[in-house]
């Protein structure tokens, strides 16, 4: 972990992630996907990374809310930052009751999540000598194995961390928004969530250059679209800005 990087961050002050008009070298290969992402950005604005983009902090954020949601994790992380601190030394030095009290802001089982925070902080401090990001500078398969050894992190979560922390430019798809690329015609539904995820990931990977900016942008725009309009249940298609390019919408029965 970079000790010079401040832990206290303001979500509002984080710079937007956007490649529009900034670099002629970062070009989306497929015009249809380019049009879709441009349409989503026009609707939602330039996407922003959440309250953390360091691997250690992202693990902490993911632990701060349960049931896991962006809102719950953000509330728990804010309470932790204000009342305890988010650095490993802060977490390990805090009384267990104080840590659990901070976790109440993010939902249920605060004691369990407090212990998981202590586990994360302890491992990063002792096993990785305070530099988790440095430990992830290995082949992707090894980096994913390291991340998946932490509580609650599976393949999609590991890939998200590697992408948003700019360690590996994977085409990570938000785990709660896989329906978005599939409905748009990128990939095919499978018998399991994992099959659909991998199919959508492969399709998008073939359409976006292997670089951080376009893939982070795609990840964040797909996420916000899945949260607001293209919901898993009862999508609000009448409000969608990209219906002209949506296979799901094209196959809806006429009203």
At residue 119, what are phi and psi to the nearest 5 degrees? -65, -45
Q: Read off the CATH number of the domain in which 116 is found.
A: 1.10.340.30
Angle between helices 70-83 and 55-63 (to 10 degrees): 110
Q: Which two tokens stand for residue 95?
A: 């009384």
User: If pLDDT is split at 50, 70 and 90, which confidence band does 55 have?
Assistant: very high
CB 118 within 8 A of CB 91: yes
Three-point CA angle 201, 203, 204, nearest 5°? 65
Least confident of 30-34, 143-147, 149-153, 195-199: 30-34
Across the range 60-83, mean pLDDT stands at: 94
Let me know whether 139 and 60 are in one domain.
yes
What does the alpha-carbon distance between residue 191 and residue 203 come to, in Å, rounded to a whole number? 17
pLDDT tens figures, 72-86:
999 999 999 999 999
**244 assigned to some structural domain:** yes
User: If pLDDT is split at 50, 70 and 90, which confidence band does 9 have?
Assistant: very low
**12 assigned to some structural domain:** no
- Residue 210: closest CA among 142, 163, 159: 163
CB 16 within 8 A of CB 213: no
Let me know whether 178 and 244 are in one domain.
yes
User: If pLDDT is split at 50, 70 and 90, which confidence band does 13 have?
Assistant: very low
Supply the range of the domain harboring residue 243.
Answer: 18-50+169-255
**10 assigned to some structural domain:** no
Task: Fill in the DSSP letter of residue 24.
Answer: T
pLDDT tens figures, 137-171:
999 999 999 999 999 999 999 999 999 999 999 99
Q: Read off the CATH number of the domain in which 190 is found.
A: 1.10.1670.10
Let me know whether 200 and 220 are in one domain.
yes
**13 assigned to some structural domain:** no
Own/partner contacts of 29-36, CB < 8 Å, gap of 24 or more, are 29/206, 29/207, 29/208, 29/209, 30/207, 30/208, 32/245, 33/186, 33/204, 33/207, 33/208, 33/218, 35/242, 35/245, 36/184, 36/242, 36/245
> How many domains does the chain divide into?
2
Let me know whether 140 and 238 are in one domain.
no
Q: What is the mean pLDDT of the chain?
A: 88
**3 assigned to some structural domain:** no
pTM of the shown model: 0.84
Let me know whether 240 and 149 are in one domain.
no
For residue 91, the model assigns a pLDDT of 98
Q: Which two tokens stand for residue 103?
A: 């976790």
Positive or negative, the CA dihedral 15, 18, 24, 29 is positive
Let me know whether 71 and 105 are in one domain.
yes
Let me know whether 186 and 227 are in one domain.
yes
What does the alpha-carbon distance between residue 65 and residue 71 come to, in Å, rounded to a whole number? 8
**7 assigned to some structural domain:** no
Let me know whether 70 and 160 are in one domain.
yes
Tell the burial category of 8 from Cβ atoms under 10 Å away from its Cβ (0-12, 13-18, 19+): exposed
Let me know whether 124 and 221 are in one domain.
no
Across the range 174-193, mean pLDDT stands at: 93
Q: Which of 146, 164, 182 is the last residue of a domain?
A: 164
Let me know whether 158 and 230 are in one domain.
no
Name the region of 21 (left: φ>0; alpha: ψ -120 to 50; beta: rest).
left
DSSP result, 59-74: HHHHHS-BS--HHHHH
Least confident of 49-58, 76-85, 123-132, 166-175: 49-58
For residue 190, the model assigns a pLDDT of 84
């Amino acid at each position: 972990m970079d000790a010079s990087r401040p832990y206290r961050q303001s979500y509002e002050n984080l710079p937007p992630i956007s490649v529009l008009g900034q670099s002629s070298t970062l070009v989306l290969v497929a015009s249809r996907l380019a049009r879709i992402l441009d349409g989503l950005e026009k609707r939602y604005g330039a996407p922003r990374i959440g309250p953390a983009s360091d691997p250690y902090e992202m693990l902490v954020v993911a632990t701060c809310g349960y049931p896991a949601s962006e809102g719950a994790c953000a509330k728990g992380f804010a309470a932790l930052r204000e009342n305890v601190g988010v650095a490993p030394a802060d977490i390990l030095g805090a009384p267990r009751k104080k840590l659990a009290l901070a976790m109440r802001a993010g939902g249920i089982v605060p004691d369990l999540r407090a212990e998981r925070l202590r586990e994360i902080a302890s491992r990063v401090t002792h096993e990785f000598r305070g530099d988790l990001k440095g430990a992830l500078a290995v082949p992707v398969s090894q980096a994913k194995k390291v991340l998946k050894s932490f509580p609650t992190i599976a393949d999609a979560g590991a890939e998200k961390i590697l992408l948003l922390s700019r360690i590996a430019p994977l085409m990570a798809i938000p785990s709660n928004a896989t329906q978005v690329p599939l409905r748009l015609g990128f990939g095919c539904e499978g018998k399991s969530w994992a099959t659909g995820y991998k199919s959508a990931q492969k399709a998008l990977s073939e359409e976006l250059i292997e670089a951080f900016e376009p893939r982070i942008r795609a990840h964040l725009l797909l996420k916000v679209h899945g949260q607001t309009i293209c919901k898993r249940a009862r999508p609000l298609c009448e409000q969608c800005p990209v219906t002209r390019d949506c296979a799901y919408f094209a196959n809806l029965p006429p009203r």
